[in-house]
Amino acid sequence: MDSANAPTAGRTYRYYDLIMASFVCVLLCANLVGVSKAVQIGGFTFGAGNVFFPLSYLFGDILTEVYGYARSRKVVWAGFGALAYASLMSAVVVHLPPSPEWHGQEHLEAVFGSTWRTSLASLLGYGCGEFANSATLAKLKVKTQGRFLWVRTIGSTIVGEAADTLVFYPLAFYGTWDNGLLLTVMMGNYGLKVAWEVLATPITYRVVAFLKKKENEDYYDKDTDFTPFSLKT
């Protein structure tokens, strides 16, 4: 098993593409379904889309832990491209003039009518959060010499989700939501996302162990360039 920053360029992996596709699927669904809906259950208020959004961070942790930051970075950019395309397609479809015989425009706008502000906030929040998450986990892996996986997954999520939450919600909803609701939803979402990662830790351990064995890979980012603006592996 590769335990150092050995050159692995040109290698093919059995599960890497599958995880990338799963990551992008979760990301798109979480950002298109329920992103602007505030939910209250048992006095706890949070955004509906955040029930499933933390799965993207779980995939991000697994990708970085097994395949390294550079390959995780490519997946983050794939997700960014998919989100940008989905936002553009939604805007075009919503604003195309409907046929007089068709009466579903209001429903379409309610589901896919995100403003340019919300879409931009989503892209910026996602980018900041995912890159912060991956870089934090990769650096912690080197510092802990591969021990204490739970410290890396939870610690990186704390950093990444904080960046995501602090960028997305103020940019998307400040001035349109009541400040009290905005702060409540931000805190609720952040707590939910971190708690989700803590609860998913046993699953993360199993998936990481499985992939490291099957892929014969355990990448350490000892000399990695952590710039997000690259697709080099």
CB 148 within 8 Å of CB 56? no
With respect to residue 89, please indicate whether it lies within any of the assigned structural domains.
yes
Of 42-46, 103-107, 216-220, the one with minimum mean pLDDT is 42-46
The answer, yes or no, to whether residue 1 has pLDDT greater than 70, is: no
What are the φ/ψ torsions at residue 101 (nearest 5 degrees)?
Answer: -85, -10
Mean pLDDT, residues 83-111: 90
For residue 170, the tally of other CB atoms under 10 A from its CB is 16
Share of the chain above pLDDT 90, in %: 64
Q: How many domains does the chain have?
A: 1
Mean pLDDT, residues 67-74: 96
With respect to residue 195, please indicate whether it lies within any of the assigned structural domains.
yes
With respect to residue 115, please indicate whether it lies within any of the assigned structural domains.
yes
DSSP codes, 115-128: -HHHHHHHHHHHHH
The answer, yes or no, to whether residue 157 has pLDDT greater than 90, is: yes
With respect to residue 4, please indicate whether it lies within any of the assigned structural domains.
no
Mean pLDDT, residues 178-188: 89
Query: What's the pTM?
Result: 0.88
pLDDT in tens, 22-66: 999 988 888 777 666 778 888 777 767 777 888 888 999 999 999
The answer, yes or no, to whether residue 186 has pLDDT greater than 60, is: yes
With respect to residue 114, please indicate whether it lies within any of the assigned structural domains.
yes
Q: What is the pLDDT of residue 50?
A: 73
Mean pLDDT, residues 166-174: 92
With respect to residue 223, please indicate whether it lies within any of the assigned structural domains.
no
Residue reference for tokens 């889309």: 49
With respect to residue 3, please indicate whether it lies within any of the assigned structural domains.
no
Range of the domain at 140: 16-215
- Amino acid identity of 117? R
Helix, strand and coil content of the chain, in percent to the nearest 5, comes to 70, 5, 25
Look over the chain and give the mean of its residue pLDDT values, rounded to a whole number: 89
DSSP codes, 143-202: HTTT--HHHHHHHHHHHHHHHHHHHHHHHHHBTTB-HHHHHHHHHHHHHHHHHHHHHTHH
Return the DSSP state at 222.
Answer: S
With respect to residue 228, please indicate whether it lies within any of the assigned structural domains.
no
CA angle (142 as vertex; 25, 126 as ends), nearest 5: 30
The answer, yes or no, to whether residue 69 has pLDDT greater than 60, is: yes
**CATH, residue 207:** 1.10.1760
The CA radius of gyration of the chain, in Å to the nearest whole number, is 19
Q: What is the pLDDT of residue 81?
A: 95
Q: What is the pLDDT of residue 7?
A: 45
